[in-house]
Amino acid sequence: MIPVCKPWLPGNERKYVIDALDTNWISSSGEYITRFEENFSKFCGVKYGIGCSSGFGALHLACAALELKKSDEVIAPTFTMAASINSIIITGAKPVLVDADPETYCIDVKKIEERITNRTKAIMAVHIYGHPCDMDKINYLAKKYNLFVIEDAAESHGAEYKGRKCGSISDIGCFSFYANKILTTGEGGMCVTNNLKFAERMKRLRNHAFDLPRFIHKEVGFNYRLTNIQAAIGTAQVENADMLVEARRNVGLKYNEKLKDFKKIILPKEKDYAKNVYWMYGIVLSDEVKLSREEIMQRLKEKGVDTRNFFIPMHKQPAYYNKTVENVPDCKWDFPIANKIGERGFYLPSSSDITDKEIDEVCMVLKKVLE
């Protein structure tokens, strides 16, 4: 089976992890944490990095740093992973959903303004599947209405918008280092920001909001600490960051080349302003394909090609439309693009170290199944 994605640890990961163990720095202090934070934020072109235990933790820390609260609203895409939306919900604020752009699958910037109210406090821009959102338009609206912007760059390490790295084009950028991410620590996350006040607040909140003197807590904190062992892996990954990003992007470029004349699927795009890193190589079945997506994915699996369906949009989540908590997003609007890609999209094997032979095999099997 060609897996949909597997981690790639081609450098000093093992050496640094053993060093962390040998020196007995296994918890959330240790030199690798500082190195990882400094080097990854530098890679993003941002001053401060705050490592944490997951992408969700990074998003929650960012929402908390902005002091989101009940009665605030945050504009966010419906086509995303639930962590984006849940990180808003647990602050008490209400996510307000916007449909996807038909080309990039990111938030449709043309549909944001109509959702802004006098309660809106922030926009969450999620760079989907490695393609950047149209950040100039989002930042223009943020300035016009005095809003914060958070980037959920969990899937977009090294992706660029007009030459700037995703995560660096807003108040706070948030990353995940889960095993399928372009850079991984197994589990982990990071917030990056140029704002010292936010950086200090996130550092405090990730560690129970400890203050001085010790065991004084002036606000409600969390435990989102990253361990030195995870950071050891991350430090090694950042040493190879450019190579890891290019490898992943090259997988996408190879699929583009091999599938470009195949009319039964819609390929991922790369807008003029963007460097797409193709975190996952996502395709959408064109209308002429009559078989269901599930049937196609099953047939691919039988022939040794593993795939995953696209996200199910947030307005279709029982947790939200059943109003399991008070401030769930409204699911009543029409989201035609998210509905369509959510039903017809899936991604192909996208590991950074997938071989050319495996890519050939995936394309051959895909064509066979669809024809």
Ligand X SMILES: Cc1ncc(COP(=O)(O)O)c(C=O)c1O
Among 64, 75, 81, 97, binds ligand X (CB under 6 A): 81
Output 62 or 259, the one with its CB closest to ligand X.
Answer: 62
Query: What stretch of H or E contains 151?
Result: strand 148-152
In the chain, what's the furthest Cα-to-Cα distance? 69
The verdict on 126 binding ligand X (CB under 6 A) reads: yes
Q: How would you label 133-157 residue by residue, b for 16+ Cβ within 10 Å and e otherwise?
A: bbbebbbebbeebebbbbbbbbbbb
Instruction: Please report whether residue 152 would count as binding ligand X according to CB under 6 A.
Output: yes
> Please, which residue, 46 or 190, has the CB nearer to ligand X?
190
Candidate residues 72, 108, 134, 155; the one interacting with ligand X per rule CB under 6 A: 155
Contact flag: residue 80 with ligand X (CB under 6 A): yes
Rounded to the nearest whole angstrom, what is the least distance from the CB of residue 79 to ligand X in the complex? 10
Q: Do 64 and 58 form a contact (C-beta atoms < 8 A)?
A: no
Residue 125 as a binder of ligand X (CB under 6 A): the answer is no
Region from 9-17, 37-45, 76-84, 337-345 binding ligand X, contact rule CB under 6 A: 76-84
Contact with ligand X (CB under 6 A) among 189, 252, 313, 349:
189
CA distances from 131 to 14, 101, 127, 147, 252 (A): 31, 11, 6, 23, 11
Residue 143: helix, strand or coil by DSSP? helix
What is the bridge-based pairing of β-strands 345-348 and 281-285?
A: antiparallel
> Quick one: which of 124, 92, 91, 85 has its CA closest to 106?
124
Does 276 bind ligand X (CB under 6 A)? Our answer is no
Could you tell me if 301 and 307 are in contact, meaning their C-beta atoms sit under 8 angstroms apart? Answer: yes
89: amino acid identity, one letter: I
Residue 86 vs 369, nearer CB to ligand X: 86
Contact 49, 40 (CB under 8 A): yes
52, 7, 309: which is closest to 180 by C-alpha?
A: 7
Site string for ligand X, 222-251 (x = CB under 6 A): ------------------------------
Q: Which helix (H) or strand (E) holds 125?
A: strand 120-126
- Angle, vertex CA 178, rays to CA 254 and CA 281, nearest 5: 20
Nearest distance in Å: CB 151, ligand X: 10
Number of residues forming the site for ligand X (CB under 6 A) = 14
- Token couple for 220: 């409600």
Joined tokens for residue 294: 């599930």
Q: How far is the CB of 290 from ligand X (least distance, A)?
A: 30
- As given in the structure block, the two tokens for residue 98 are 């916007």
* C-beta closer to ligand X: residue 82 or 209: 82
List 25, 32, 178, 335, residue binding ligand X (CB under 6 A): 178
- Residue among 63 and 369 whose Cβ is closer to ligand X: 63
Q: Site for ligand X (CB under 6 A): which residue of 44, 52, 125, 154?
A: 154
Shortest CB 128 distance to ligand X, Å = 7
Burial class (CB in 10 A: 0-12, 13-18, 19+), 118: exposed
The residue to which tokens 């996350």 are assigned? 189
> What x-and-dash track marks residues 50-69 binding ligand X by CB under 6 A?
----xxx-------------
The answer to the question of residue 7 lying near ligand X (CB under 6 A) is no
Q: Identify which of residues 125 and 365 has a Cβ nearer to ligand X in the complex.
A: 125
Crossing angle of helices 55-65 and 82-89, in 10° steps, is 40
| Candidates 64-72, 77-85, 252-260, 335-343; binding stretch for ligand X (CB under 6 A) | 77-85
Residue 83 found at the interface with ligand X (CB under 6 A)? yes
Select from 28, 41, 78, 84 the one that contacts ligand X (CB under 6 A): 84
* Residue among 35 and 131 whose Cβ is closer to ligand X: 131
77 in contact with ligand X (CB under 6 A) = no
Assess 176 for contact with ligand X (CB under 6 A): yes
Closest residue to ligand X, based on beta-carbon distance: 55
Contacts to ligand X by CB under 6 A:
54-56, 80-81, 83-84, 126, 152, 154-155, 176, 178, 189
